[in-house]
Each structure stands twice: as C-alpha cells, then as structure tokens.
Structure 1
Amino acid sequence: MHVGYVLKKFPRLSETFILDEILGQQRLGARVTVFSIHRPDDGRFHARLAELAGPVVYLPQRKSHESIEALADRLDLVRASREGLWSEFEALLAARRRDVWSVLEAGLDVAARARALGVGHLHAHFATIAADVARVASTVARVPYSFTAHAKDIYQDGVDADRFARLARGAEFVVTVCDANREHIATTLAPDSAEKVVRLYNGIDLATFSPSIRRPDATPLVLGIGRLVEKKGFDDLIRAVAALRRQGVTLACAIVGDGEERAALQSLAAEIDAGVEFTGALTHDATRGLLARATLLAQPCVIGADGNRDALPTVLLEALGCGVPVVTTPIVGIDEITGGSEAGVLVPPRDPHALAAAIRELLADPARRASLVQAGRARAERLFDLRRNSATLNGLYLRSTSLAEATP
C-alpha cells in the first residue's frame, strides 16, 4: 500500500503529530510519499526525520510562463479528467478563492507524481489548501483521498462550511482528533457526511514518553509548552505565576515555544515581575528533556478572539505519558484527554486566579500529584497509544485502496 500525504508545509516543528503519524504508517509496512506545497522555514527539525524512508516531494513554485509550459506538458491528464477538473475549477471560483490557479496547478503536480509513483490513496492534514489540492489530485489521478480536520480549520472565523462540506462529500473518509470535533462537523459543517467522520486521537510513543524519564528539579518547575499565540493562554499563566510569587510560593516557570505573541508576553512577564523563562522553540528531544524535569505542566488554553482554539494539544498527551501532572482548561477535546478531573486539574479559561490556586494546591499535595500521574498514564495507554491508533488509520487506508482496486 502506497499513501501520499499532502501537506501545506513539511516538516514543521509545531506539527510533530504529523511526523509521528507518517512514521507509524511506515512501521506498519506502508510506503509513504510526502507532497509538500511549500518548503519549510522553521530553521530546525526533529531528529526523527532521519527515520523517514520515503521521499518528500516539494511542489515547484513557478512563474506565470512556467505554469503555462507545465500545463502544456500535462495535457493528457487534463483531457482525461476534464469534466472533473472543470467542476473543481467552478467550485473554487464560486468560493471566490484567490488561489484558484495555485490549487489547480498543485493538484495537477501531485496527480502526475502520484500516478508515476503508484500512490493508491491521498491524505491531507487540515481542511485548508492541503485538502483542496488532495481533492483536485484525487479527481485527476483517480485515487481516493481523505483528510484530517484539527481545530483552526473548523473553528476559526471565516471557515467556509460549504467548502468543508464539499471536501467531506468527496472524501473516502474524514478523520478528526476528538469527539467534540466530530460533533461540530456532524452538526454544523458537514451533516450530510456525518457517517464518514472518524474520531481518531493523535497518539504518542509510550516508550519515549514514559515515567522512567522523570528527573524532577529540586525547585518546583511549572512548564508551559506551545506556540506563543493567543489560544495557548500563556498570558494567564504569566499572571498566575506572578501572583504565586507574591504569595511567597517557591517555583520556577519556563515557557517553551515561539510565535507572534512572544514580545508581548515577555513584556508582560517583565512588567509584573513574573520571573518566567522563555526558552524559544526547542527540538522535540530538548522539549522532552524539560518535560522530564517538570513538576507540572500548565496549559491554560482559551478560545481566541478569531474563534481559533486547541482541539487535542499533543503536549498534554506527552505529559500524561511520562507522568507529569497537568493543569489545563476544558476547551474542545481537552476534557477527553483528562477524563474530566480523573487525570488532570481543570480550571475555567481566562481565569489566572483559578489557575494560580490550582497550581499552588497541586504543588503542595504530592499525593494528589501521584494520583494524577497514575491515572494519566493509564489513560495514555488506553486512548493515546501511537501504535494502536496508527493501526486503526492503517486499516482505513487499506480499506480505501482495496475498494479503489475493486472498482472498475
């Protein structure tokens, strides 16, 4: 079985779950080719990229005259799929997309390479341009496609429900990462494709994220990990830590990540004397090393002003796996991670006072921390095992390719 992954940009430091998924399919015997619409610009990458066996195909970025020449070279593909391609063109125009030609051109590029390589199924991550390109490529190459919907692509202001519904109708199946997402898609975005939507949690490597790596610092360390953007709620964490310091609580706090709000968050931390360390973006291994030293992980996620939010933060899964207690908020699928208060402490979003109180109580209660650690590891093993979840996805791909081969 040969699966082609269509991604906007690969690799990305903040999307370890995609690399984990691809490597999981590879371990199960699938051939995987990655089609990346754009080249990466993070500047640093995960060491596990070296494990990738299949090629990464970066789609060409052409000038206008080059695009015309490339189209002329692919007239056979265009003729063979002209009705379907025209339908895609009309749909993109009707949606008033400014990137109509980019989507069609990228779709043709993926289709040509997919046919040449013998790809039997295309899968995109995020219901954005990657899924659009996968749909066009599917139409041209006549192979099935699917996509994974995450969070910004279904909740953020400006999400086009008609476009999402069309993507879902054409897909062999739609994966999403939590039950809350599945309900939102089934009731709001694509009710006529509800039966196609599969909830499949992201998984983690339970051997890599194991309690055996824990080496907690002598001074309690509170960690926050993620991109420095509004939906992570790190301003609330900074305010909570400042309040705890004023109360005389001994602790260190580090926030791992980078992003558009870094300057504002650093300014806030300095202004209120929070004493928070900003490490910047780190590799996965370096982040794991910090997680091993942490007393607890604080992820006070919020719904952003633009509707964007986290659905299933991978770092919470990793914390549960390696035995780090978590304090977080019940946004979207987070409650599914912790099982309510079973494996985490939940506080209301945008409430730094409640966050500070929860952190203080947990730092002072080693028995409660131990209970959360035990429950968290059990949930990770039951729900978020990468190998088990990879096998489920692999089964979906096998079914899709088998059906395609059986169709004349």
Structure 2
Amino acid sequence: MVKPCTDAILYVLLKDSTVIPHLMSLLSSSQRTQEYITQIFSHCCKTPEHQTVLFNHGAIQNIAPLLISPSYKVRMQALKCFSVLAYENTLVSMTLVNVLVAGEQLTQVFVKMMQRDQPVEMQLTAAKCLTYMCRAGAIRTDDSCIVLKTLPCLVRMCSKEHLLEERVEGAETLAYLMEPDVELQRIASTTDHLVAMLADYFKYPSSVSAITDIKRPILESGVIELLCSLTQSDSPALRVNGIWALMNMAFQADQKVKVEIVRSLGTEQLFRLLSDPDTNVLMKTLGLLRNLLSTRPHIDQIMCSHGKQIMQAVTLILEAEHSIEVKEQTLCILANIADGNTAKELIMTNDDMLQKIKYYMVLCICGLLLLLLAADQTQY
C-alpha cells in the first residue's frame, strides 16, 4: 500500500478547510476507509498546529469509537492517532481522560490494549498514549494506570524477547515517562531488572549497527543521567543498581559513552561513592573505574582530565581499612592506569604511590611464600 501521507496531502488538509470535515464524515463508512483516513491523520499530525486543527474538527469524538472496531488495523490506526494528538498537548490530553468509549473510560481502554495477550505494537502504542497524557498533566504519576500498568508494560518492552526496534521505542518512551518523576525512577529501577536490561545493551560491540542505534535510545533519552541520579539515592539497593548499570555500560564502551558517564556522574559524586558505607556500592564503583580506565587512548584522556582526583581517591582507599577484595580492585585500577601511554606518569612521578605499590607487592610475595611453605609441609 502506498503511504497516504505526503507533503501534498498535508498541504491540502491545512489549506482547504472543507477536507478534514469531509474525511471525518467518511469515518462511518467501511473499515478500509476508516483505516486509511486515520492513517492519513496520524501521519500528517506533526506539529501543535496540526493537533489543534484535528482537535477543533472533532477528531477525538469521531475517532474514539474506532478503538473498539472489530478490525485490528482500524483499532491500531485509531490508537496511533491518539498518540500523536496527545504528545505534549495538555488540551487534548485533558479532553481524552473524560472520553467514554462504549461506557468505559478511554484510559481503561488503553490499559486493556497494553495487556500481554495483545500484539506488541498495540501494547507499545497504548503505553505511549498514556505516557503522553501523563507528561501533559492529565494523569497523575502515581495513578494506578501509570504505576501498575504503563510503567511495567514499557519495562517489558525493553527485554530481549522483543525486536530491537521495539526495545528502542520502549526505552525511549520509558525514559520520557520517568524523566520528571523521581518516584517513577525508583519504581522502574527495581522492576523486572530494568537496569540490567538497559546496561546489557552496552555489552555488544559497537560495530553492530542495530546495537549502536540502541546505545545512541539510550544516550539521547537521558538514561545515563537517570542512572547517575539513582547513585544519589538514600537507598543502598538503588545506589547499587545505578552504579552497577553504569559499570556495565562502561564495559568495552566507546569513548563517547565513557566521557558522558564521567561528565554526568561528576568527580564529587564519584568520591562520595568511593567512601560509601555499603561495600557493594564501593565495589561496583571500583568496577566502574576499571571499565572506564581501559583501552590506552581512553585511559590517557580520562586521566588527563581527572587524573589528580582519581589518584587521590585511589590513595584514600589504599590507606583506609578495607577488605582484601576492595584493595585488590583498587590495585587493578592502578594496573590499568599504568597501561596508559601518558597516564602512567601519574604513578611513576608519585613517590607515595610507588611506596604503596611496593608495600602491597611485598605482601603478595610473602603471602605466596607462606602458601608454598604450607604446601611443602603438607607433603611431609
């Protein structure tokens, strides 16, 4: 089928005031006509001006009954119409919450369309409608249709069982829904391992074009900022989730991702995390540093910008009372720094650090000797 939306059609729709009312009157015709007309509307509604024109010509009242059409294609195109009408439009969104379809509130119709037994395309588009209505102020962020239905549906869309395009769209919509609301961020971060799913996108080689596009669903939609905000939570579990996801994102990541993580997190917050009383948070933060400081060009660039602060943090950890595992991770960070072309000078010119490295090397050698002696005595 040829796409009905062209610049010419858009021009006619806006220029001739009789066209849209005529198309509205045809919505009572055949299902095929309903499908095509709603498709024209959804494709041609691209600006607030277009939304206003369609709204003023009774788009909501005329299209709403099509949401319960026996034809899936008609229902789907009607749903898409509402998603483009509601996007960042308070007037449309406030009107939608009061619309009844066969005696049922429109929001509940959208909720039913998000059920797992519905096609993914329908679930995702219905979730977008409710997300846009919420962001426009027509639905409260603590409303059950958002917290218990829309949010879990969008989290579900991010899972591996879905196509890449669906996962990208789900992640973008989810980020848009959560952006202004800390409580939604908290709920989402503990729902169905969302943080793990988002971080998992960054484990793939950047040469895979589809995954590269997702990395780009994610960076542009502000997920890194969201994860960095989680690291400031009063809840240790949320701090662990946030820093753990950032650690995974930094693993074998390209330079742009690493720079964005460092920029969004900030050195002050990094210091706070390195002195966190929760050992899990500390270990994941050290893991993040290790992943950031990998690949020589990346090591040199990050240490050139933040080397003084990082070396200071490493020194504080080595001097403090910490477990063997924490000290081991910290020494691994030093090993990564030493692998840099220019970054290693920050170690080689630091007498205090060299003494600490020497001290731990002696400890390791002594420990190894003790193990050998113990093994030798066991033989006898």
Question: Shared topology, TM-score over 0.5?
Answer: no
- Relative contact order, higher structure (CA 8 A, sep 6+): 1
- The TM-score, its normalising length taken from structure 1, stands at 0.25
TM-score by length of 2: 0.26
Normalized per residue, which structure has more helix? 2
